[in-house]
Amino acid sequence: TPVVQVSNLRKVYHGRPALDGVDLTVAEGEVVVVLGPSGSGKSTLVRCIDQLEKIDGGAIYLDGELLGFAHRHGALRPLSEDDIAAQRRRMGMVFQQFNLFPHWTVLRNITEAAVAVHGMSKGAARERAETLLEKVGLPDKANAYPRQLSGGQQQRVAIARSVATRPRVLLFDEPTSALDPELVEEVLTVIKDLARSGLTMVVVTHEMEFARQVADRCVFMVDGKVVEQNTTEEFFEQP
Ligand code: ADP
Ligand code: ADP
């Protein structure tokens, strides 16, 4: 079973399709990079997978389980918000704007969901957060507040938060687009390390060099459709 399967996905805004029959399969441990011009639907695709957007057609499966809907009495009905929240907890998402809580320390930003939502003990969550802070190169920032950090540091905290709960898949929506150019590399390096550690990922980015180095597969979107999908080697070999 693939970790993520997207089948004939449709999403319409004001009568205009942002996603027009998208198929995507992501296997365990695979890193898929989604490329394409601005407005082609990349962000909408990962937001639909994370159930931040309601879909208008098709289906999305996580580990073979249909997301957002259940078959009941012979019909497909939307799940309750609680059930959707439970499904969302099995995924991690990293946004362009880091979305950290400004009034919480770095440590609490990373541990809160693990403790409050996943029921991890405070001690275990803290230990995991400290390990993750080391991994993202911020071992001494546990007690800092987001505003005391650079954008690159904040994004690395957001990445640590997204993996703290051991998600089945990590979704990235242009994780370096809001950063000053000199901070991009430190964030890409952290994502590369996670990819090498075997995490399953879907990464929306404009960073072609990152795609070339890290992706197992590249998906190219235009106007809400996948127009090319290939191994990274083949993708970058073409004239
Ligand atoms: P990309 O990530 O490739 O830049 P998006 O997924 O953000 O593309 O957008 C795809 C299309 O859907 C664009 O035409 C965009 O304007 C439109 N769109 C995205 N989000 C919304 C929204 N919340 N309301 C209306 N239109 C939207
Ligand atoms: P990106 O290119 O990273 O997707 P955008 O600037 O296109 O970023 O979109 C930023 C936010 O605005 C997203 O939440 C998107 O859903 C929303 N959005 C994008 N296009 C439109 C639109 N035409 N109308 C309303 N909301 C939109």
Query: From the CA of 39, which ligand is nearest?
Result: 1
- pLDDT of 239: 66
Please indicate whether residue 138, judged by its CB atom, sits closer than 6 Å to ligand 1.
no
- Phi, psi (degrees; rounded to nearest 5) at 192: -60, -45
What span, in angstroms and rounded, lies between the C-alpha atoms of 133 and 155?
A: 12
SS3 state at 43:
helix
pTM of the model: 0.92
pLDDT at 37 over 80: yes
Instruction: Give the Å distance between the CA of 176 and the centre of ligand 2.
Output: 16
- Report pLDDT digits (tens) over 117-154: 888 999 999 999 999 999 999 999 999 999 999 999 99
User: Per the structure block, which two tokens stand in for 130?
Assistant: 């400290």
- pLDDT of 202: 98
What span, in angstroms and rounded, lies between the C-alpha atoms of 6 and 60?
A: 5
Instruction: Give the Å distance between the CA of 207 and the centre of ligand 2.
Output: 20
Cα–Cα distance list, 101 to 66, 68, 104 (Å)? 31, 27, 6
pLDDT at 90 over 70: yes
User: Per the structure block, which two tokens stand in for 88?
Assistant: 């969302």
Percentage of the chain lying above the pLDDT 90 cut: 94
Nearest CA to ligand 2 atom 19: 39
- pLDDT of 117: 87
Mean pLDDT for the stretch of residues 32-50: 98
Please indicate whether residue 41, judged by its CB atom, sits closer than 6 Å to ligand 1.
yes
Q: Which of 14-23, 168-177, 230-239 has the lowest mean pLDDT?
A: 230-239
Instruction: Give the Å distance between the CA of 158 and the centre of ligand 2.
Output: 21
User: Per the structure block, which two tokens stand in for 163?
Assistant: 């993996």
pLDDT at 160 over 90: yes
Mean pLDDT for the stretch of residues 198-206: 97
Report the residue among 35, 43, 97 best suited for mutation to probe ligand 2: largest number of ligand atoms under 8 A from its CB.
43
CB 107 within 8 A of CB 123: no
Please indicate whether residue 96, judged by its CB atom, sits closer than 6 Å to ligand 2.
yes
Q: Which atom of ligand 1 is the closest one to the Cα of 45?
A: 6
What span, in angstroms and rounded, lies between the C-alpha atoms of 50 and 45?
A: 9
